[in-house]
Structure 1
Amino acid sequence: MTSPRLVFLDRGTLSPATRLRRPAFDHDVVVHDRTAPDQVAGRIAGASIVITNKVRIGAEALDAAPDLRLIAVAATGIDVVDLAACAARGITVCNIRDYARHTVPEHTFALIFALRRSLLAYADAVRAGRWQAAGQFCFFDHPIRDLAGSRLGIIGDGALGRAVGRIGTALGLDVVFAAHKGRNVAGPQGMGPLYTDFDRVLETADILTLHAPLIEPGPHGPGTRHMIGRPEFARMARRPLLINTARGGLVDETALVEALEAGQISGAGFDVATAEPPAPDHPLMRIAQRPDVIVTPHVAWAAEEAIQTLADQLIDLIEAFMAGRPRNVVAGPGAGS
């Protein structure tokens, strides 16, 4: 009997220090550091199992892989895979869950602290000689604000959003979770009795942080793409910080630039972009040098401990699938498992 062929399309998206054990069944494995869009079909042809992190797998590429049984996404976000096409072809798709419950909330608050206290701006000023030029023991070139007593608005109440909420509560923030528009229902356990109206959160938050998936508009609703755009920025009466460690497409980035320039928000901390890496003329690159902006290269998830947890869970999922016990299934046979 021929051993199943396993193909990893983008091993380079995991840290070189990450230990990726071999699955405990007979198999052939091919590992690619990166895969360009025009290489996908050729590389998955003949594969039984494909691992992808950020390489897109669409219907045309799937047509070249009649033996494919499983796509294991080495991330939580599954927008890189055509789920409908996989379901139609009987291909199971599974993803990684709950591996970033510490690293993303910690990165979120690293951005919040750095921006509220202008840490990078002051560090840059010291390097430029401003302290000596000040002629006294301190200087006040950039704003500094405490967190305690401020309102933290959270959009997205999954594991990461709730973890951010717990940290915010411990720090003395007034934590509110935004409802879907038109809804006002029971909130996350331990985080208060009700969600707060979406527009009300925009209007009253001192800090807004995004932890929602990127969902394209469709028959089931408007989706989440550009959920923060010009109309939403116009409602931000308290000039909040905007933090995005979720997906770049959640925010209209051109509107973000306009909002900063118009003073509708007081700063932005972004770990994600609509195009990664962004081109030099991308909207985020236009504002990355501002003292009230921090852009990090999609590394909120990338604590060593988190990546190792991801890698271990990835192999666990593949072994479970081969043992007939699929887990974390988002499409195809076994969906809901």
Structure 2
Amino acid sequence: MRAVFLDKQTFSSTIDFSSIEQTVTELDCYDITSPREVITRCINADIIITNKVLLTAEILTALPQLKLICITATGYNNVDIDAARKHNIAVTNVSGYSSQSVAQYVFAQLLEYYQQISHHNNNTEQGLWSSSKSFCYHGNGFHELAGKTLGIVGYGNLGKAVETIALAFDMKVLISERPNTTQKRSGRVSFNEVITQADIITLHCPQTPDTEKLINSDVLSRMKSSAVLINTARGPLVDEQALFEGLVNNEIAYAIIDVLTQEPPPENHPLLMTHLSNLKVTAHIAWASFESQQRLIELVAKNIQGFTQGEQLNRLD
């Protein structure tokens, strides 16, 4: 079967795609594909492999040969699942590949913030230790993670991986129940309890109509003024204008943002223009350790192989 990879550039150039090549008769790869190029590039394809390219009902209707869509991510809001089902097109995703990568990112950022690593390195490089009258130069000082309360919103593979590291640091962990629900599962607390009690809130839930703008002006106003917010999930989970205003007004102490509503973001995005000292923004890279990327590709290859053998592996349709 002929496969087309529409946005290979979403992966690092060093990633090995041979496992996918071995499962298909032909693999055509494109770095990036614009909406107007999708049909032309896929008209003779049996399989589409894509990370973020939008596959609408109109596009799927125009591809009668298409049999399988492999999403190289966990989220699948870029594919019209109902239209795929209507046209008997199988859709698969992947999950569990980035747990260690995301968890490592979360704690790398937290350690940078609480330990003030860059600050203390800079103090030494600037000669402040050499000129100190004491055996050490304290600078801004730093805080321990031990004893801090970490609130986890979204308790799948990613949330559980973060919890494992948090417990190793002797942190207290609160697992959030779904917002706006009276359900109380064992081991979970209400969303309101998480946002009002946690020193750190980290988001790992999917983007759904119920979670869009989950972090808004009301939520930010109820968080601790010393709280840290981390979003490595999806940009729309956070009301970005509300976050900007909350950081300016010191409603919370710090935010670590790896995802934005529009990606890539416009140059005049408020969270990129202001250079706030209490904000760090990275370019959707928490998932993307080399190891994580390679695991993902191996899982996509298994999805293709499973489909050709009649298995229902990681099917969404």
TM-score by length of 2: 0.92
Cα pair 2:124 2:130 within 8 Å, conserved: no
Cα pair 1:260 1:267 within 8 Å, conserved: yes
Q: Which residue of 1 aligns with 2:294?
A: 308
Q: Which residue of 2 aligns with 1:64?
A: 62
In structure 1, distance between residues paired with 2:129 and 2:191: 47
Q: Which residue of 2 aligns with 1:248?
A: 235
In structure 2, distance between residues paired with 1:130 and 1:177: 44
Q: Which residue of 1 aligns with 2:14?
A: 17
Shift of 1:119: 2.9
For residue 4 of structure 2, give the secondary structure of its aligned residue in structure 1: strand
Q: Which residue of 2 aligns with 1:53?
A: 51
Cα pair 1:7 1:47 within 8 Å, conserved: yes
For residue 128 of structure 2, give the secondary structure of its aligned residue in structure 1: helix
Shift of 1:121: 4.5
Amino acid at match of 1:44: C
In structure 2, distance between residues paired with 1:39 and 1:125: 52
Could you say what the CA RMSD is over the residues aligned between the two structures, in angstroms? 2.0
Amino acid at match of 2:29: V
Amino acid at match of 2:152: I
Matches within 5 A, 1:1-337: 4-21=1-18, 22-24=20-22, 27-123=25-121, 129=126, 131=128, 137-140=136-139, 142=140, 144-180=142-178, 181-187=180-186, 194-215=187-208, 217=209, 223-287=210-274, 289-331=275-317
Identify which range, 15-24 or 203-212, moves more after superposition. Answer: 15-24
| Structure 2 unaligned blocks of 5 or more | none
Residues 277 and 122 of structure 1: CA distance in aligned 2, closer, same or farther (over 3 Å):
farther
For residue 174 of structure 2, give the secondary structure of its aligned residue in structure 1: strand
For residue 237 of structure 1, give the secondary structure of its aligned residue in structure 2: coil
Shift of 1:41: 2.1
Cα pair 1:72 1:95 within 8 Å, conserved: yes
Shift of 1:23: 4.3
Aligned residues with identical type, % of pairs: 35
Shift of 1:98: 0.8
In structure 2, distance between residues paired with 1:134 and 1:326: 67
In structure 2, distance between residues paired with 1:284 and 1:29: 39
For residue 99 of structure 2, give the secondary structure of its aligned residue in structure 1: coil
Amino acid at match of 1:20: F
For residue 330 of structure 1, give the secondary structure of its aligned residue in structure 2: coil
Shift of 1:143: 6.1
Shift of 1:172: 0.8
In structure 2, distance between residues paired with 1:82 and 1:279: 26
Shift of 1:314: 0.7
